[in-house]
Amino acid sequence: MKIVIFGTGNVATVLGRKFKSAGHDILQVVGRNAKEASALAYELDTISTVYKSAIDKGADLYLIAVSDHAITSVIDNLYLPGKVMAHTAASVPKEVLKSVSSHYGVFYPLQSLRKEMKEIPEIPVFYEGNDDETKLMLGRLADSISPGNVVHADGDMRAKLHVAAVFVSNFTNHLYALAADYCRKEGIDFRQLQPLLEETATRIRDNAPGSVQTGPALRRDSETIQKHLALLKDHPQMKNLYLLLTESIQQMG
């Protein structure tokens, strides 16, 4: 498949690598920053441009892999009639692209992607299109980089998946960051928690998360909880979160 990629960030970079590895032809990288666009194009063995007037019209698919708020600036005064257009955003409807082409859709990779990754993790792909041609093309592209891990999903499902993803990835990582900061201030080596962190993530592969919950909140161990709160007296943000999460665990338990 011949593809033009809009964007030079994490998603554009990782997807570009995956597409190239799958044998697709990246015709062009389009970006706002000439240096970054050129660097990604060099990695993908293609050319780059910062000008919409210079966009290659010979691609099968034009994929916009930029932040949600940047999509509107990318499509402003962009017209590719008859071409298949798609963006990679979870919470932006596919209809935002209908002014660009009569064939439009979404190609959403449900994974935390960083261009610095040495190994690319498994990437579940959720896609949708406004017509059969678009659905077929996006489905085939998704299957070429994530065989067996492709789902057709409308905007409502994608938005709900994104909410869940924020909880399991963004919020969880923030808790790691708070714990690391606490350890640093209290003279503890955060790396000593690494085995626990990995075990917690591993055990939910085969179990419902609620069924493997442990800790003083679930046991309603008031004595331990009060000791922890006392230790957090100089860490008000963590103390408030501790109380909030303790209540949430007890409500679910």
Q: Can you give the pLDDT at residue 132?
A: 97
User: DSSP H helical segments within 120-205, as ranges?
Assistant: 132-145, 155-165, 172-186, 194-202
Q: Can you give the pLDDT at residue 221?
A: 97
Q: Can you give the pLDDT at residue 118?
A: 83
**Co-location of 30 and 148 in the same domain:** yes
The last residue of a domain, from among 104, 134, 153: 153
Task: Give the count of beta carbons closer than 10 Å to the beta carbon of residue 145.
Answer: 20
Domain extent for 180: 159-252
How many domains does the chain contain in total? 2
Q: Can you give the pLDDT at residue 163?
A: 97
Cβ-contact 50, 34 below 8 angstroms: yes
Q: Can you give the pLDDT at residue 253?
A: 77
* Sheet hosting strand 150-152, strand order edge to edge: 47-49, 25-30, 2-6, 61-64, 84-87, 103-109, 125-129, 150-152
CATH number at residue 9: 3.40.50.720
**Co-location of 169 and 45 in the same domain:** no
**Co-location of 147 and 86 in the same domain:** yes
**Co-location of 92 and 12 in the same domain:** yes
The last residue of a domain, from among 122, 153, 184: 153
Which are the contacts of 115, defined by CB distance < 8 A and separation ≥ 6? 9, 10, 13, 14
**Co-location of 212 and 246 in the same domain:** yes
CATH number at residue 170: 1.10.1040.20
**Co-location of 137 and 62 in the same domain:** yes
**Co-location of 12 and 74 in the same domain:** yes
**Co-location of 97 and 172 in the same domain:** no
Alpha carbon distance 115, 32 (integer Å):
17
**Co-location of 126 and 203 in the same domain:** no
Q: What share of the chain is helix, strand, coil (3-state, %, to 5)?
A: 55, 15, 30
Alpha carbon distance 100, 75 (integer Å):
7
Query: Is the full-model pTM beyond 0.95?
Result: no
Q: Can you give the pLDDT at residue 119?
A: 86
Per-residue pLDDT of the chain (253 residues; tens, 9 = 90+): 999 999 999 999 999 999 999 999 999 999 999 999 999 999 999 999 999 999 999 999 999 999 999 999 999 999 999 999 999 999 999 999 999 999 999 999 999 999 998 888 899 999 999 999 999 999 999 999 999 999 999 999 999 999 999 999 999 999 999 999 999 999 999 999 999 999 999 999 999 999 999 999 999 999 999 999 999 999 999 999 999 999 999 999 7
**Co-location of 19 and 98 in the same domain:** yes
**Co-location of 58 and 121 in the same domain:** yes
Q: What's the token pair of residue 105? A: 């859709």
**Co-location of 178 and 217 in the same domain:** yes
The last residue of a domain, from among 153, 172, 190: 153
